[in-house]
């Protein structure tokens, strides 16, 4: 069963894959009137099986007043942004954070292709001898439909671990549904096996990338890789 966008502001703030949208200021487009927050649990099904689910999840009483105020403020894109709106906002967020990351964690970044998939090769300024033959694969977050941190996630790891990081720009939904992202990451891994021993290759991700990490690990085990 496929699920549509979440329609409850209370639910959205609980989901790590999209929680970043809550914290972004609305600066790029005029805002329309916010949609009313649903007040009850609902579930409707489209003819193609898509489920539209509302779940009211109240904020816990244990959080601070400051956290409560932050989490209940209106989302900049409203409850039902289009994919294009989400990607535009995420790209603006990501570019700003990349500048900050490169100042704090100096690295070299080079666009490369591995297994036919566009990637960024992030190389620390100094690599100790024991890490010369090691590489980490990063699969970014962003709810599988946008890129919330390909470089933002990879740059600090490369710098602090003094290890090369290959950040994968896997194909995104809804244009490329599951298992496209898995297929792309596996293709990158197979290409890296030409120059690295399996024991010297690591895989990590944040949010959607964390889910993808587990999916890819299961595929690699299934395929004997």
Q: What is the pLDDT of residues 13-37, one digit of tens each?
A: 333 333 323 333 333 444 555 566 6
Please tell me whether residues 111 and 214 are part of one structural domain.
yes
Residue 90 lies in a domain: no
CATH number of the domain residue 198 falls in: 3.40.50.1820
Please tell me whether residues 63 and 113 are part of one structural domain.
no
Average the pLDDT over 52-71 and give the result: 88
- Beta strands, E only, the chain: 42-45, 51-54, 107-114, 117-124, 135-139, 164-168, 201-205
Please tell me whether residues 69 and 120 are part of one structural domain.
no
State the pLDDT at residue 59. Answer: 86
Please tell me whether residues 109 and 208 are part of one structural domain.
yes
| Tokens linked to 168 | 């994968």
Cis peptide before 174 (omega within 30 of 0): yes
Please tell me whether residues 53 and 106 are part of one structural domain.
no
Residue 72 lies in a domain: yes
The number of distinct structural domains making up the chain is: 2
Last residue of a domain, one of 49, 81, 113: 81
Please tell me whether residues 104 and 213 are part of one structural domain.
yes
201-205 and 135-139 strand pairing: parallel
Higher pLDDT, 16 or 162: 162
Residue 105 lies in a domain: yes
Residue 117 lies in a domain: yes
Higher pLDDT, 128 or 75: 128
Identify the bridge partners of residue 43 per DSSP, sorted by sequence position. Answer: 53
Residue 13 lies in a domain: yes
Residue 92 lies in a domain: no
pTM for the complete prediction? Answer: 0.70
- The end-to-end CA distance of the chain, in Å, is 29
At residue 63, φ and ψ (nearest 5 deg) are: -85, 160
Structural domain boundaries enclosing 57: 9-81
Please tell me whether residues 202 and 132 are part of one structural domain.
yes
Please tell me whether residues 61 and 106 are part of one structural domain.
no
Last residue of a domain, one of 46, 81, 116: 81
Residues 6+ apart with CB under 8 A from 43: 51, 52, 53, 54
């Amino acid at each position: 069963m496929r699920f549509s966008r979440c329609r409850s502001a209370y639910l959205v703030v609980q989901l790590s894959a999209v929680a970043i949208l809550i914290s972004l200021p609305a600066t790029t487009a005029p805002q329309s009137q916010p949609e009313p927050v649903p007040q009850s649990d609902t579930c409707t099904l489209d003819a193609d099986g898509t489920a539209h689910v509302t779940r009211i999840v109240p904020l816990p009483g244990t959080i601070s007043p400051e956290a409560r105020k932050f989490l209940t403020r209106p989302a900049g894109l409203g409850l039902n942004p289009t994919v294009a709106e989400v990607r535009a906002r995420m790209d603006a967020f990501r570019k700003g954070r990349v500048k900050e990351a490169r100042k704090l964690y100096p690295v070299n970044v080079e666009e490369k292709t591995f297994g036919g998939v566009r990637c960024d090769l992030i190389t620390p300024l100094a690599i100790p001898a024991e890490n010369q033959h090691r590489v980490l694969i990063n699969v970014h977050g962003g709810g599988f439909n946008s890129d919330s941190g390909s470089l933002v996630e990879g740059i600090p790891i490369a710098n602090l671990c003094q290890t090369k990081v290959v950040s994968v720009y896997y194909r995104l939904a809804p244009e490329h549904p599951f298992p496209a992202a898995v297929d792309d990451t596996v293709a990158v891994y197979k290409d890296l096996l030409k120059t690295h021993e399996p024991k010297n290759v690591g895989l990590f991700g944040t949010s959607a990338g964390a889910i993808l990490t587990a999916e890819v690990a299961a595929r690699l085990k299934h395929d004997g890789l």
